[in-house]
C-alpha cells in the first residue's frame, strides 16, 4: 500500500515520550516492547514500556497515523482522519464520563505527528470474536450482553453531545468548522437503483436523511465500527477500542449491529432472532436511563428499523459494484451473501415495524434481482456459536 506514509518507529517513540512527559509533568522514557501492526495497516501500533523518573513503569499503547491525508490544519480533518476522530472521541469521553470504562484511557498525544498514547488494557485479551466463533451459544449470548451493556453505557453517557464534541475537537486542533452528524441518503439510493432498478420513494429517503440530520433524543457519540474484534473482554466487561469512526450521530446506528450481522466487520455473522431480542432488552435497559424513548417498544422498533435501512443503503452503495463484478470472501463470509442478508433483515424489520413500505418494496425487488443474478450465493449464516452442531 504505497499510498501510506513510511514512519520511523523510533521517531514515534521519541515524540510520544515528549507528549507523555508534558502530560504528567515529569520525564518519561519509552522503550519499544513490541510492534503490533504490520506494513499493511493504516496505523503504526506499538506496545511500549513507559518508565518514570521515580522508578515506576507502566505499559502503554502508541498509535501513529500513516495516512497521507493527516494534516492538523485541514478544515476537513474530522472527515478524512480516523486518528483525529479517535483522539476527539476519547478526549470527549474522558471529560464527559471519566472512570466509566469507555475504551482505554487516553494519556497524551502529539498533534503535528499524529500520535496518541493509551493505557494498555493488557496483552492476550479475548474479544467478542472468541465466543462468537469458538464458544457455546450460552457463552456467546453472555458476551453479547456485555457488549450491549458497553454500547448502552457509551450512548447514555454521551447524549446530546454535538456541542461538547465540537469543543473537544477545537481544544485539540484549534478552530475548525462544525460538522453536521448526518448525510444525504438519496445519492446512495441513486447508485443502487442505477445498477439494479427499483427506486425507493423520495419521501422515505428524506425521512431517513432527516433522522440522521437530527436524531433528536437519540443523538449520542457512536462508535461507528463496534466490531467483535474492537470489543475486548476485560475483567468481566466489554471495553470498546478503536474509535476511528466515532462521531455524534443516531445511537441506534451502533445498536443495529447484532440485527444486521455486524456489517463493517471481517467476522460477520447472524445472531438468532430470540437472542437478538434479549440483547436488545439489555441495551434498551441501559440506554433508557438517559433516553426514555428506548423503553417504548414501538418507538424503539421504529428507530431501529430506520437505522437498519440506513446501513442497508450504505452497504449496498459501497459494495454493490464490486459484488456485481465478482464475489469475494471478506473475512468469514462472501460479499454477495452479506448483501443478501442485509436485504432480508431490513425487509423483515420494515414489515414487523410497519414502516418504510416503499423502501421495503424496493428492497424486495433488489433481493429478487440479486438472487436471479447470483443463484449460487448464500445469505450470511449464523455465527458458529449459534449454528447447529454435528452429533
| Residue 68 clears pLDDT 90, i.e. is over it | no
Highest mean pLDDT among 8-12, 183-187, 313-317: 313-317
pLDDT of 390: 65
pLDDT by residue (tens digit) across 105-143?
999 999 999 999 999 999 999 999 999 999 999 999 999
CA distance 357 to 363: 10
% the chain with pLDDT above 70: 98
Mean residue pLDDT across the chain:
95
**Distance set, CA 179 to CA 184, 246, 360 (Å):** 14, 13, 31
Residue recorded with cell 436524531: 215
pLDDT of 179: 67
pLDDT of 176: 73
**Do 97 and 82 contact (CB within 8 A), yes or no?**
no
State the average pLDDT over residues 147-158.
Answer: 98
| Residue 102 clears pLDDT 90, i.e. is over it | yes
% the chain with pLDDT above 90: 88
- Mean pLDDT is lowest, of 64-73, 347-356, 357-366, for 64-73
| Residue 1 clears pLDDT 50, i.e. is over it | no
pLDDT by residue (tens digit) across 286-303?
999 999 999 999 999 999
Q: What angle is formed at CA 372 by the lines to CA 368 and CA 374, rounded to 5 degrees? A: 110
| Residue 261 clears pLDDT 70, i.e. is over it | yes
| Residue 164 clears pLDDT 80, i.e. is over it | yes
Domain 9-119: give its CATH code.
Answer: 3.30.200.20
**Distance set, CA 81 to CA 39, 43, 110, 242 (Å):** 19, 11, 15, 13
pTM confidence score: 0.95
Locate the domains of the chain by residue range: 9-119, 129-373
User: Which residues on adjacent β-strands are paired with residue 44?
Assistant: 64
CA distance 148 to 276: 10
129-373: CATH topology is Aminoglycoside 3'-phosphotransferase; Chain: A, domain 2 (3.90.1200)
- Mean pLDDT is lowest, of 174-178, 233-237, 283-287, for 174-178
CA distance 165 to 211: 19
**Distance, C-alpha 7 to centroid of its chain:** 26
- Mean pLDDT is lowest, of 67-81, 249-263, 290-304, 344-358, for 67-81
| Residue 181 clears pLDDT 80, i.e. is over it | no
Amino acid at each position: 500500500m504505497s499510498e501510506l506514509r513510511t514512519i520511523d518507529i523510533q521517531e514515534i517513540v521519541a515524540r510520544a515520550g515528549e507528549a507523555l512527559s508534558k502530560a504528567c509533568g515529569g520525564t518519561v522514557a519509552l522503550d519499544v516492547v513490541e510492534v503490533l501492526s504490520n506494513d499493511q495497516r493504516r496505523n503504526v501500533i506499538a506496545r511500549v514500556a513507559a518508565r518514570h523518573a521515580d522508578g515506576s513503569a507502566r505499559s502503554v499503547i502508541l498509535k501513529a497515523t500513516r495516512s497521507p491525508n493527516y494534516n492538523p490544519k485541514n478544515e476537513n480533518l474530522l472527515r478524512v482522519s480516523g486518528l483525529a476522530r479517535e483522539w476527539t472521541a476519547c478526549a470527549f469521553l474522558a471529560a464527559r464520563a471519566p472512570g466509566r470504562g469507555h475504551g482505554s484511557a487516553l494519556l497524551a498525544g502529539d498533534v503535528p505527528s499524529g500520535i496518541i498514547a493509551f493505557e494498555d488494557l493488557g496483552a492476550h485479551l479475548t474479544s467478542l470474536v472468541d465466543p462468537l466463533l469458538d464458544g457455546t451459544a450460552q457463552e456467546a449470548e453472555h458476551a453479547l450482553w456485555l457488549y450491549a451493556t458497553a454500547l448502552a453505557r457509551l450512548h447514555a453517557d454521551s447524549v446530546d453531545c454535538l456541542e461538547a464534541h465540537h469543543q473537544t475537537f477545537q481544544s485539540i486542533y484549534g478552530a475548525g468548522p462544525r460538522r453536521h452528524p448526518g448525510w444525504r441518503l438519496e445519492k446512495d439510493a441513486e447508485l443502487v437503483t442505477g445498477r439494479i432498478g427499483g427506486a425507493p420513494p423520495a419521501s422515505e429517503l428524506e425521512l431517513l436523511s432527516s433522522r440522521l440530520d437530527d436524531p433528536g433524543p437519540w443523538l449520542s457519540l457512536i462508535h461507528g465500527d463496534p466490531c467483535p474484534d474492537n470489543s475486548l473482554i476485560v475483567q468481566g466487561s466489554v471495553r470498546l477500542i478503536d474509535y476511528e469512526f466515532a462521531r455524534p450521530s443516531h445511537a441506534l446506528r451502533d445498536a443495529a449491529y447484532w440485527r444486521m450481522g455486524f456489517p463493517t466487520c471481517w467476522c460477520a455473522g447472524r445472531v438468532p432472532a430470540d437472542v437478538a431480542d434479549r440483547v436488545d432488552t439489555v441495551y434498551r435497559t441501559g440506554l433508557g436511563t438517559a433516553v426514555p424513548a428506548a423503553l417504548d417498544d414501538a418507538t424503539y422498533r421504529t428507530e431501529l428499523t430506520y437505522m437498519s435501512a440506513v446501513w442497508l443503503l450504505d452497504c449496498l452503495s459501497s459494495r454493490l459494484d464490486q459484488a456485481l463484478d465478482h464475489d469475494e470472501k471478506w473475512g468469514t463470509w462472501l460479499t454477495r451473501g452479506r448483501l443478501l442478508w442485509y436485504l432480508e433483515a431490513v425487509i423483515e424489520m420494515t414489515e414487523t415495524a410497519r414502516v418504510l413500505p416503499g423502501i421495503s418494496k424496493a428492497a424486495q425487488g433488489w433481493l429478487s434481482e440479486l438472487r436471479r443474478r447470483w443463484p449460487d450465493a448464500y445469505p450470511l449464516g449464523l455465527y458458529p456459536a449459534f449454528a447447529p452442531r454435528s452429533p
